[in-house]
Each structure stands twice: as structure tokens, then as C-alpha cells.
Amino acid sequence: MSRRARLDLAFFAVVGIMAAHQGEHVAQVVQKDGAAENCPQHCRGLLGSVFDIEEVHFAYNTLLFAALAGLWFAYGMWRPEWRRRVLPWVALSMGVFVVQGYHVVEHIAKIQQWAANGHVSPTPGLLGQLLGPPRGQNFSLVELHFVLNTAVFVAVLVGYFGFRLYRGLALARRSLAWAPATVVALALAGSAAAAWERQTPTVRLATGEHHGPLVLDKAQKLIGEPGAVVRGGILVTANGVTVRDVTVVAGENGISVENARGVVLDGVRVVGAELDAIALRRSSARIYDCIIEAPRGAYAQGIDVSFSIDLPPTVVDGCRIEGGLEGIVVHSAKVMLEDNRVRGTTLRGITVTEMSMGSVRDNEIGDAVGVGIFCGDFSKCRIERNRVVRMRPDLASDNELRHGIGILSHFGAVATLRANELVANPTPVLAHADARLQEDD
């Protein structure tokens, strides 16, 4: 076999590997944006968590860059006979050395974040820091890396087919010129079809009342039709469960999540909880656009996230919480609390305590008693761009830490503050019991 034939065969092998990898990214986009799967739990392509780890992505992209650059130099593509074909030469050269080169940089950043975080997410890379977690139709890391891989893949295909490097492929003197196009088409179409076929089962909850508690002990999507109500609560004990557009009229707890990861609660409404409207124990979840109102117990709380410091962060985004002892309370967990509205609480609006790690950003707490945002018990909290308005003193208590404080850092906690708006609070900020408040300009 001649040297050129060996190069053509090697390039075909690289194209085949890229097609398989691109198929995985197509599958992820189908899972997230087509089948509306629970991401990232069920948006990991066809091979799932077997290969969906940062070390594998870093190794693949680095080796791919080395292989493509090696082929470029092996063909001698700096020579005039290649450069005369402007479109394929520019596409291949830019795809290899610019797009895939930058793609490697992204994965270097991600692998560094992976190591720094103790081998858990989030690992947004560089561009991904501007994006939110995967949700519905938003542009997230799933789409970002689909775009990066697609740009490289298309550029390589333009160069490969533009230079007609497939013409020399043969086996036992039979031409295999048809093989590259066939491999690419089958990989992409097959991945999309397989991802659609394997989507998580969906249960539609009909309009009207349903008696609970409903127990969700297998991965599934529970989606309520307009007017669907569960009376008596929902218990989630399985990974990868989605509950969407359901109203829960609670007894003791509204929605309880126990020993489960990758749970999504989207657009749920909980009314009349006696203890916790939403309770997470040894679990991680993403809670979006929830409504919690009319708590009935003296010790009722809105959202309680507890005992998951070793699990991926729980996200609470866009929720509206009215009343209760505390709006959102976190014990020994990692959380991201963003764009929530908490009003009318009687103890604290948002609490991050018991050695938790929390980002509290763009929330509004107001017209409540006691403390707006509390960071306590050796927790580390980043508190930025929140609005805390009209915290009132608890006149029934002689505890000075209940006298209308906007932001309180307590008992060894470290709260980093940035650009918060504190209006009409008797005490805007306070650090107590060896805690610290530090400004981040």
C-alpha cells in the first residue's frame, strides 16, 4: 500500500470516529431540545455516563487535534497544489488549528475545574461560564459543545470531500469511495433516531384531583395537564425524575425527594404545607419557577435542602414563596439560589447554614420579619445582586439577631457581598460570633 493510500485510509478512520462522536452530540440535542429530557441526567447521548466524564472528553479532543494536525502536515498541505483549492484548504486549516485548537482550550479549562471541584460539576469551561444549566430550550453547555463539534466536523468534511480524499479508498481492488458519506449519514441519522426512541417514559396527569401520596420510584417524567392537582403529596425516590406543571395540596410535606439525584421540579405549585413545601434529603435537584403559598403549620418552610454537601449543587431558580417560617433553607449542601422572590416569612427569608456552600444571586426578599439573608455555621456564601426590602423586627423576641437585619453572617461563616440593594431594613448588614462579611468589588 502506498504512502498516499495509507494517509487516505487514516483520514477516513478519523472521519469515522468524528462522525460517531458527532452522533453523540446530535443525540444530546435531540434528548434535550426534542424529547425535553431531564438534563444532564438523561442528556448524555447514547453511551451515557460510560464516556460522559471530563477525562474522556479532554483526551478525545486533544487526540483529535493531534490526529488532524498530523494529517495536515503529513499531506504537506502548506504546499501550493493544496492551497490553490481555496475553500477546502481554508475550511480544513481553520477547522483544525483555530476551532479544534480552541475546543481543546475549553476542555483544558473544564478539566481544571473538574479537578478543583473534587470531580463534580459544574465545569462550564470558558464560554460556558456565561450560560445557565440545561433547561427546556435554553442555550446551555449541551448546545455550546454541539456547536463547537459541529463547526470542526463540518470544516473537516469540507476539506475531506473538497480535496476528494475518499477517491483512493479501496478494499481488494474494489472502490470504497462511497463509504465516508455513508458512514457520516448513518452515524448522524442513526443517533438521532436512537435518542428519540430511548426517551424516558412520560406519564400525563389528567386534569382534576388525584389522591396522594404519589410515589415516583423509577425514572420518569410526570407532567400535569392544566388543572391537575395531587392532594396529599409526592414522594420521589429515583434518580432522573421530572415533575412538571403539577399543583400539590399538601398534608405534612408537599414534594419530598429522598436519596435521589438529577431530579427536576419545573413549574410546580405547593399549597398548604404543614412542614416543608419542597423537601430534599440526601438529594440534588433543579427547581424552576415553583410557587409556594399558604403554609398551614407554625413551623412551615418553603424549600428545605439538607445533607447533600457531597452531591452536585441543587439549583433553585425563579421560585415565588409566600409566608412560612423560612422561605429557602439549606443545611450542609451546595446550592445555587437565583431569581427567587420570598415574601412574608417570620424567621428568615433565605438561610444557608451548617457548613453549606451557596451562591445567592438576584433574589428579592421583602415585607418579612427577622432576617432577609442568613449565612451561618461556618458556611461560605456568595451573596450578590439581591434586593432585601423592609425586614421588620420581631417585637415578640429580645434576640437582637431578629431585629430586622438585611444580611446576617453568623458563627464562623464567611459571606462575600457584591452589589446588593438593601432598603428600609433597621440593620442593613451584620456579622456576629466570629463570622465575616467581605465585599467583592
Q: Compute the average pLDDT of residues 420-436.
A: 97
pLDDT at 51: 80
What pLDDT, in 10s, does the model give residues 394-417? 988 888 898 899 999 999 999 999
Q: Which helix (H) or strand (E) holds 427?
A: strand 427-432
3-state helix, strand, coil in the chain (%, to 5): 30, 35, 35
Q: pLDDT value at position 176?
A: 87
Domain boundary, last residue among 197, 212, 229: 197
40: confidence class by pLDDT, cuts 50, 70, 90: confident
> Of 159, 175, 197, which closes a domain?
197
Q: Note the pLDDT of residue 347.
A: 95
102-125: average pLDDT? 89
- The residue range of the domain holding 66 is 3-197
Evaluate if residue 172 carries a pLDDT over 80.
no
E strand or H helix that includes residue 113: helix 101-116
Tens of pLDDT, residue by residue over 280-303, are 999 999 999 999 999 998 899 999
Q: Check residue 388 and give its pLDDT.
A: 98
In this structure, are 225 and 369 located in the same domain?
yes
Q: Is residue 217 located within the same domain as residue 248?
A: yes
Residues 168, 296, single domain; the answer is: no
Stretch 318-347: mean pLDDT, rounded?
97
**Domain shared by 297 and 167, yes or no:** no
What is the model's pLDDT at position 297? Answer: 84
Do 263 and 139 share a structural domain?
no
Query: What's the mean per-residue pLDDT of the chain?
Result: 94
- pLDDT for res 182: 96
In whole angstroms, give the CA distance from residue 358 to residue 344: 22
Q: Is the pLDDT of residue 137 over 90?
A: no
Clarify whether residues 272 and 353 are in a common domain: yes
- Within this chain, do residues 110 and 172 fall inside the same structural domain, yes or no? yes
Buried b (16+ CB within 10 A) or exposed e, 291-305: bbbebeeeebbbbbb
Q: Is the pLDDT of residue 138 over 90?
A: no
Domain co-membership, 251 together with 288: yes
For 364-380, what is the mean pLDDT? 97
Same domain? For 255 and 308 the reply is yes
Mean pLDDT of 371-383: 98
Higher per-residue pLDDT: 47 or 89: 89
pLDDT range class, residue 184, cuts 50, 70, 90: very high
Cα separations in angstroms, 92 against 11, 70, 238: 12, 13, 46
CATH number, position 229: 2.160.20.10
Q: What percent of the chain has pLDDT over 90?
A: 85
Instruction: Give the separation between CA 230 and CA 232, rounded to whole angstroms.
Output: 6
Q: How many domains does the chain have?
A: 2
Which domain-ending residue is among 197, 218, 237? 197
Check pLDDT > 90 for residue 79.
Answer: yes
Q: In terms of domains, do 71 and 177 share one?
A: yes
Domain shared by 191 and 235, yes or no? no
Which pTM value belongs to this model? Answer: 0.85
Does 15 share its domain with 121? yes
Rounded mean pLDDT, 151-167: 97
Residue 120 has pLDDT above 80, yes or no: no
